[in-house]
């Protein structure tokens, strides 16, 4: 009796891997099959180290080969336990936020580099791609989301959720929003002291009814202070996007920003660096690029720090104007600005998907494929 290897493989396809919804062959658990006459030797790897799991797998393999291939086959099974390596980075800290898949912190070392502009445009672009998006404006020194989303006078309402009163985020352009700015007068200087700010932030995070979100973006204050530490420790942040202009002073601060996320007490994966105000193109000379703040500074920094480069956003008057009137520029369709933000957003999503592959399944993102701009979600 000559046993066919293909038949053995086909038989093993009947065995599903618990919790994965895949069969043993698809999941890559079958490492090798050797045939010697009527003997079959199967090498497999499983992730469940328990003796019971091993026994069960062995019995299943024996049965299925005897049933499907050859009832008198002599079978030898070598099982190797390959426990999923614990990810070194991104150990989830803080309380998990039910219903929120991915929390992305947007940071910059230096103020005024366009962190909020990038956050707002990332948010509307993600919403256009079909994701459920929320923005938490944690910039206690200069909250700008209420203006950038044209809701400066709104106040979040209270809703009753399961007998508890919760804050309902304000919504515009398909993006849910909570901001420190909703709790202060527009012309009032915000001298929040650390503990007060932390308390307000905590409420916006844990006493708010965000509902289901694919992405929550957090617009962090500039710098690398205590408030960053408390947010990073309170929340299971998936990753950070660091925004910088190509200018040396901004780059030096961006470097500190990256170092902050990578330090042991924070340990949040850096999804990458985005270069804002990368170049200026006047409307009347659309093919000219002027590198006002220097050329490719953020790109080089990303290379230097060995973190992904997420893309460049030009310095364009319409971006500034859009921010001021409260309608993020990426909403203007078929423009180079929209294209630049789409490119940036796709790269961010791709990095998130990549990061989540190395995370435990409960934290993993639910995105599977990306085709052009429309991202297919599998819930």
Residue number, 70 or 341, with CB nearest to ligand ADP: 341
CB of 16 to ligand ADP, least distance (A): 49
CB of 322 to ligand ADP, least distance (A): 8
Alpha carbon 94 to its chain's center: 17
121 counts as binding Mg ion under rule CB under 5 A:
no
Contact between residue 233 and residue 94 where contact means Cβ atoms under 8 Å apart: yes
Residue nearest to Mg ion (CB): 116
247 counts as binding Mg ion under rule CB under 5 A:
no
Helix (H, G, I), strand (E, B) or coil at 64: helix
Distances (CA, A) of 57 to 66, 72, 75: 14, 19, 13
Q: Closest Cα to residue 296, out of 281, 270, 275, 271? A: 275
347 counts as binding Mg ion under rule CB under 5 A:
no
Alpha carbon 36 to its chain's center: 49
C-alpha distance across the termini of the chain, in Å: 47
Residue number, 29 or 278, with CB nearest to ligand ADP: 278
Contact between residue 239 and residue 366 where contact means Cβ atoms under 8 Å apart: no
Contact between residue 214 and residue 126 where contact means Cβ atoms under 8 Å apart: yes
Helix (H, G, I), strand (E, B) or coil at 49: coil
Q: Which x/- pattern, by CB under 5 A, does the window 125-154 give for Mg ion?
A: --------------x----x----------
Residue number, 135 or 353, with CB nearest to ligand ADP: 135
Find which of ligand ADP, Mg ion, none residue 316 binds, CB within 5 to 8 Å per kind: ligand ADP
CB of 114 to ligand ADP, least distance (A): 3
Residue number, 42 or 138, with CB nearest to Mg ion: 138
Residue number, 214 or 275, with CB nearest to ligand ADP: 275
Sites of contact with ligand ADP (CB under 6 A): 108, 111-117, 144, 276-277, 313, 315-316, 319-320, 323
Strands of the 239-244 sheet, one edge to the other? 170-172, 175-179, 133-137, 213-219, 100-107, 239-244, 270-280, 309-315
Residue number, 112 or 360, with CB nearest to ligand ADP: 112
Find which of Mg ion, ligand ADP, none residue 121 binds, CB within 5 to 8 Å per kind: none
CA-CA-CA-CA torsion for 181, 184, 186, 192, nearest 10 degrees? Answer: -80
CB of 118 to ligand ADP, least distance (A): 7
Q: Which residue has the tokens 């308390």?
A: 199
Which residues contribute to the site for Mg ion (CB under 5 A)? 116, 139, 144
């Amino acid at each position: 009796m000559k046993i066919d290897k293909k038949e053995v493989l086909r038989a093993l396809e009947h065995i599903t891997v618990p919790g994965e919804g895949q069969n043993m062959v698809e999941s890559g658990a079958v490492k090798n099959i050797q045939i010697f006459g009527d003997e079959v030797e199967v090498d497999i790897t499983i992730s469940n180290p328990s003796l019971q799991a091993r026994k069960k797998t062995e019995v299943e393999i024996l049965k299925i080969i005897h049933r499907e291939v050859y009832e008198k086959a002599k079978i030898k099974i070598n099982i190797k336990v390959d426990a999923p390596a614990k990810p070194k980075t991104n150990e989830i800290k803080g309380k998990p936020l039910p219903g929120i898949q991915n929390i992305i912190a947007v940071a910059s070392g230096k103020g005024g580099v366009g962190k909020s502009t990038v956050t707002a445009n990332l948010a509307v672009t993600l919403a256009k791609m079909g994701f459920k998006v929320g923005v938490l404006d944690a910039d206690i020194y200069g909250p700008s989301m209420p203006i950038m989303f044209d809701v400066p006078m709104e106040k979040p309402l209270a809703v009753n959720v399961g007998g508890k009163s919760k804050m309902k985020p304000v919504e515009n352009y398909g993006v849910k929003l909570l901001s420190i700015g909703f709790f202060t007068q527009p012309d009032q200087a915000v001298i929040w002291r650390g503990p007060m700010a932390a308390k307000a932030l905590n409420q916006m995070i844990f006493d708010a009814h965000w509902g289901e979100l694919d992405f929550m973006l957090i617009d962090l204050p500039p710098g690398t202070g205590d408030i960053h530490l408390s947010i990073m420790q309170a929340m299971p942040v998936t990753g950070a996007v660091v925004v910088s202009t190509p200018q040396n002073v901004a780059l030096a601060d961006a470097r500190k920003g990256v170092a902050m996320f990578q330090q042991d007490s924070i340990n949040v994966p850096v999804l990458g660096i985005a270069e804002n105000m990368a170049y200026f193109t006047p409307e009347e000379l659309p093919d000219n690029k002027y590198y006002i703040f220097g050329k490719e500074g953020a790109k080089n920094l990303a290379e230097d720090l060995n973190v992904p480069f997420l893309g460049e956003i030009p310095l364009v008057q319409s971006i500034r104007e859009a921010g001021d009137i409260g309608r993020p520029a990426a909403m203007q369709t078929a423009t180079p600005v929209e294209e630049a933000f789409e490119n940036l957003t796709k790269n961010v999503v791709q990095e998130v998907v990549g990061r989540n592959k190395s995370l435990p399944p409960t934290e993993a993102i639910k995105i599977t494929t990306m085709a052009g701009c429309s991202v297919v979600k599998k819930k």
